[in-house]
Every structure is written in structure tokens, then in C-alpha cells.
Structure 1
Amino acid sequence: MSYQISPTTNSKFMFNLKAENNQVILTSQVYEQKQSALDGIASVQANGPFSKNFEHLTSTASEPYFVLKAQNGEIIGKSQMYSSQASAEAGITSVQINSRSEVITTTE
């Protein structure tokens, strides 16, 4: 389990939270600066363990997914699209467990 910060094509930054099997379980928004991405990771670490911070949503293609929100209601990260609500619930559980990781890598 780890966070991976990556530069985007337009010289901005984003991060992914990965589970122990290296699967991406949460993706951040795009940040202007690397420090802002680090701040976003700190917010996931603080808010990720608590189920009240997750919102269940459904895509226009009727696929369940979820977002993780900070205390101020701002979205910190978004999941992939899932094939079932049960799979999305398992994804939330994985974020709750893995969000406490302090391992942060950067790809440049």
C-alpha cells in the first residue's frame, strides 16, 4: 500500500492510492504544485479511515463508484467504476485500510 505522485502531461501533479496488490483504489484531482498533492495525501490519510466521508455515486452508464470527501465537503479522490455495488463497497473498505499508509513515491 502506497501513494504514488505523478506529473501530468501539463506539468501538474496527481496521486493514486494503491493497495498491496498494486491496484489503484483512489485517484486524486490534478494539482498545480507537488506540495498541494502532498497536502491532498495528508487529507486522504486523515479522512480515509471513516465511512462517513465516502459518497456512493452512479455513473451515467449505471456503474457504481465512490468519492472520498474532506470535512469541508471537497472531493479528495475518486474511485474507478465498479461492476456492482458490492465491489464498490469492497473498494471503500480497501481505501479505509490503505489510506493510513505513509509510503509516498514519486514518478518523474
Structure 2
Amino acid sequence: MSVKFEITKNEKGEFYFKLLNADGKTLLRSEGYNAKASCTNGVESVRKNAVDEKRYEPKTASDGRPYFNLKASNGQIIGTSPMFADAAACEAAIAATKADAADAPVDDKS
């Protein structure tokens, strides 16, 4: 499966990145960044931390759907997944992120 990062800019001028799977579905998304350089640093942090099992924090939403956070070595959240239908889908997204994020190309749409 080939994944890619996509950088976008919203109407307020904030930059975001998403990690998309081969089908274009979001595996992970960032917070808003005021500067594009900060957003790019976030992408690099995901690339560096995605391979480490300890950086994944599985969570459960109030409605019971699973999702996960990816954290940097300092404990800061660098990306959050969407809500998944079930644990298997969440685990598959973690596996794809772990396997492919480090080498994923960046598609800059900002």
C-alpha cells in the first residue's frame, strides 16, 4: 500500500497535514499550524516517530469507536486518526502508518 502526506491550508491561513492511504482515506491528521515550516516539521516528526510502537496511543471515543494518537518522544501529540468502525480497522491504520509513513511523499496542496 502506498501512502502519502497531503499539506493543505484552510480559509484562516492555517496549515494542516494528513497521511492518506492508497484509497485516499485519512490515516492521521495534524493540528493547525500558523506557519508552513511548522507543518513540514510535523510531517518529519511523524516520519521519525511512526516506526516506534511506543508512540501509538490507542483511544476510544465517547461513542465507543476506536482511534489513535501518534506522539513524539516528548509526549506531544503530532497526529490523530479519524474514528474507525472497529478495532480491526484502527489496527490496520496503525500498521499502515507504521510501515509506510517514513518514506511517504508529500503532496503540497497549500
**TM-score under structure 2 normalisation?**
0.93
- Inter-CA distance 60–11: structure 2 relative to 1 (3 Å threshold): same
Residue 52 of structure 1, aligned match among 54, 61, 86 = 54
Aligned residues: CA RMSD? 1.0
Cross-structure match for 2:27: 25
Matches within 5 A, 1:18-97: 18-97=20-99
Structure 1 residues without counterparts, runs of 5 or longer: none
Instruction: Name the amino acid aligned to 1:96.
Output: K
Superposition deviation, residue 50 in structure 1: 1.3
**TM-score under structure 1 normalisation?**
0.94
| Residues matched between the structures, number | 108
Superposition deviation, residue 8 in structure 1: 1.3
Structure 2 residues without counterparts, runs of 5 or longer: none
2:27 counterpart SS class: strand
